[in-house]
Structure 1
């Protein structure tokens, strides 16, 4: 198996829910989404703002950004203010908290060849903070049950637990264009237990192309979502619903259908787009 981000943290929600999808997706070439460069520019400006606020001699990248505008500048200022606010709190916990920006994070202890990049880490006694910046506007991202953040936290724990007396991990999604600051706090022991009992065994299944296919919300960014048989079966359950008996649906039946409608519409559109291509 080639050594690369085969099981990326950003796709962990999908391969933890559907382990064999990792192998299928790895066989398909990546295509950058239309606004990928916008996100890259935003993260580059984030890095500059925080490092500059920390007193480091860094070059302002603004003139070289393709998507820079006043809105982006305001969002970056909000992000930088939030990071520095958390840094100030960390200083109250110990004399020498550490701030790491755009840090490579290796969680291969639990996920084969697993690594990623953390936007901002603040390491102090008692609390380790993982802050992830999301510039996207379309999808609201929550910290609750967010395995990407948990993988990043594990990597940081593996390096800094012992150097600092870490008890709790705080994982925050900072998504300014959705006015969203979402934070999940976990005890160190609970995070490590999740890693050993859920993350590691499921990651091994995914790495080997084993396990069972499962359809659900995690299919949204799957590269094979249009042709996946399991997803088709999942959505055809609703399409095959017997609408003739009874002649009118009861409220309880409508309630059972409603949660599946968005997935059904999304699946139908994916199949249509695939067929037209």
Structure 2
């Protein structure tokens, strides 16, 4: 019997497991995000390739061909996916010592519709034995460590796996694993089946029902980080305004130490919000939106040496020592070299060896003296992170 038979979804999940932390806390977010088209991300593309390589390596091992070569042009990716394979194999072998009937399944699509309308997800690896269910998730990103405890995405994968395998196995416990090789980070979380089913009934299902209908109240929080509408979300703006109003009412002309201590934890949210709304406004302006008092101009760019060998050769001919123009293992900055040689003479010596790339567009007040941006906008479409 094929215990690992896959549930094949017919369309993209509105309430995805990967965004569950967001729509569980902020139920309207899923329908709000539907209005924003997906944008390609180099990080998401890199993650997709890494998962494919990891799947091939693990499948080769499972089929009895552990030495079969999986071509991987990126050396770091090759090491990371091999480390992931070895970790899954280690989990499997440890479980096999306790239960001869232990099974390993790779890239299993899971039905989450008992709790989430149209819900599904894909588990990278599942190890099942008589009493324990292991769900292992590869995270290829290296931005921030991802932890397994109370990770809603991984808990939903655990729920889907439990639903799929519980008729064949009598699980007492579920063990969730995050394997993040580029950060040397491994995180695990043990759950009892009863605790998971309670969470599904009390938290997930009510939130999913509201999110599916686009109902509920917006709630800003750390889950806003990858939200598509974070830049123009009114709830986030109101939160910042409320913080501002609160501190306008301070009686003292100067903040006390306690008041500073209260403000400090809020600063990351303020900084993140201002950055998000600046990026949103620039994107809108590049696509034709006019903001009174503002215009798009070319931003500052730095000159760069495109032929270091030629510059080094000319400096040698001019009699300068390597100690004078090098800062191991490369040339000193252009400003430092201009100071060494003289700005005009350096410009003459290095003609054709230095270029100044076009600066990226920035949104500035109309009083800025720089001319309005005229280049094509497509080169600077906003790029975002993923898995």
Q: TM-score range by the shorter chain?
A: over 0.9
1:53 is aligned, of 49, 61, 82, to: 61
2:32 is aligned, of 21, 24, 28, to: 24
CA distance in 1, matches of 2:269, 2:262: 13
- Whether the 8 Å contact between 1:44 and 1:61 is mirrored in structure 2 is no
Moved more, 265-274 or 244-253: 244-253
Equivalent position SS for 1:248 = coil
CA distance in 2, matches of 1:164, 1:252: 55
Q: Structure 1: 5+ residue runs without aligned partners?
A: none
- Whether the 8 Å contact between 1:235 and 1:260 is mirrored in structure 2 is no
**What is the CA-CA distance between 1:162 and the residue it aligns to?**
2.9
Greater RCO between the two (CA within 8 Å, min separation 6)? 1
Any residues of structure 2 matched to 1:163-202 within 5 Å, and which?
163-202=168-207
**What is the CA-CA distance between 1:94 and the residue it aligns to?**
1.8
Q: Structure 2: 5+ residue runs without aligned partners?
A: 1-9, 284-387
- Whether the 8 Å contact between 2:110 and 2:164 is mirrored in structure 1 is no
**What is the CA-CA distance between 1:252 and the residue it aligns to?**
2.2
**Partner residue of 1:103?**
108
- Whether the 8 Å contact between 2:57 and 2:70 is mirrored in structure 1 is no
**Which has more radius of gyration?**
2
- Whether the 8 Å contact between 2:171 and 2:193 is mirrored in structure 1 is yes
**Partner residue of 2:47?**
39
Residue by residue, what CA displacement relative to the aligned partner does 1:43-71 show, whole Å, maximum 9, x if unpaired? 011111111222356975526xxxx3221
CA distance in 2, matches of 1:15, 1:69: 35
Please state if 1:263 is matched with 2:305: no
So what's the TM-score if we normalise by structure 2?
Answer: 0.67
The verdict on how the C-alpha distance between 1:106 and 1:56 changes in structure 2, with shifts beyond 3 A counting, is farther
CA distance in 2, matches of 1:252, 1:88: 54
**Partner residue of 2:382?**
none
Equivalent position SS for 1:45 = helix
Residue by residue, what CA displacement relative to the aligned partner does 1:27-51 show, whole Å, maximum 9, x if unpaired? 2211122222111111011111111
CA distance in 2, matches of 1:212, 1:52: 48
